[in-house]
Amino acid sequence: MDKPNVEVQTRTKKTPLFKKKVFWVAMLFFAMYVAVFLIPFPPVSHHGIEIGPQDTTFQLFGAPLKNTFFALFISTAIFSTIIIYLGTGIKKPGSTRAVLAEMIVTSIKSLTNSILGHEGTKYEVAVGTFFGYILISNLLGIVSSLFVPFYSLNQNFKMVIAPTTDLMVTAGFALSATFYFHTQYVRVKGLGKYLKHYISPYAFMLPINILEEVSRPLSLAVRLFGNLTGEHIVLEVIASLVAFVVPCIIMMLGLFTGSVQALVFTMLFMVYLQPGISAKGGH
């Protein structure tokens, strides 16, 4: 019984901080961050808070492409890379990659199970995709604040920004979620029951039910957009006052906000999905 404990203790023996690789990587990033502020930049021409979609120098058929378009590409690339890295090529159980993949899968399973119950096992993939994609899109905004000093160099550095500060991107997320749970309602319970739930419990509730269904994607989109935009406005205002270390506090708050908003979007998606797929009946 004693042997594993001894092994664990020897493995986690104190190594001095300057011998760790992680420490030097962090110091490298910090040095780069300091060096950026020491480089003399030309004076910034604009004085204003720039949040959300802005024009870049790239064009498609003569129309300027917004920076959130590229930001969505970046977050898609990061998300697919993580999923492909974790999902393929696991050699042996117990390796770091296998443990990470297992952790993610079990946490998504428990999240789905807590709201949808045992009927939700089919929908774990959709739930996990929404959660991961929105989480990475939100957290890209934290990375974007490292690029703020470069804005005066080139307009195209604004491409690294949270894509969810664009209302069109969040509307896309919300509309795809809405399309998904409506089609699942029809697929699981049939078209008759789907149409019947508009006139339940009484026929005169029809306009109220339609209004409820219409307001769902609207509220999903505006909630995500408003939270992320508000957080980024606070970040920019603080950064325009004190640009050096103080924004880090707001960035930590931003980590929390981004994760909670991704969780809230996923949970509301599951709550809206539940009357369509549960055997207990509608709401």
Number of amino acids touching other proteins (CB under 8 A): 17
> At closest approach, how far in Å is the CB of 228 from other proteins?
10
Residues whose CB is less than 8 angstroms from the CB of residue 30 and which lie 6 or more positions away in sequence, other chains included: none
Task: For other proteins, give the closer residue by CB, 83 or 234.
Answer: 234
Enter the tokens of residue 267. Answer: 């949970």
Half-sphere exposure (CA, 13 Å, Cβ side) for 274? Answer: 16
Give me the least distance between CB of 271 and other proteins, in Å please: 7
The reply on whether position 84 binds other proteins by CB under 8 A is no
Query: According to the binding rule CB under 8 A, does residue 56 interact with other proteins?
Result: no
Shortest Å distance, C-beta 63 to other proteins: 19
Q: Which long-range contacts (CB under 8 A, 24 or more apart) does 144-150 make?
A: 144/71, 145/235, 145/239, 145/247, 145/251, 146/33, 148/239, 148/243, 149/36, 149/37, 149/41, 149/243, 150/36
Position 230 contacts other proteins (CB under 8 A) = yes
CA 283 from centre of chain: 29
171 binds other proteins (CB under 8 A): no
**Smallest separation (angstroms) from other proteins to the CB of 265:** 9
Q: Which of 70, 185, 225, 269 binds other proteins (CB under 8 A)?
A: 225
Give yes or no for a contact between 144 and 239, defined as CB atoms under 8 angstroms apart. no
Report the nearest approach of other proteins to the CB of residue 202 (Å).
25
Is residue 240 a contact point for other proteins (CB under 8 A)?
no
Told to check if 260 binds other proteins by CB under 8 A, we report: yes
Cβ contact 166:52 at 8 Å:
yes
The correct pick among 36, 65, 86, 115 for binding other proteins (CB under 8 A) is 115
In the numeric block, which tokens belong to residue 233? 């406005």
267 near other proteins (CB under 8 A): yes
| Only segment of 16-24, 28-36, 118-126, 216-224 that touches other proteins (CB under 8 A) | 216-224
Backbone phi and psi for residue 267, each to the nearest 5 degrees, phi listed first = -70, -40
| φ, ψ at 154 (rounded to 5°) | -150, 140
The residue ranges that bind other proteins (CB under 8 A) are: 51, 114-115, 219, 222-223, 225-227, 229-230, 260, 263-264, 267-268, 271
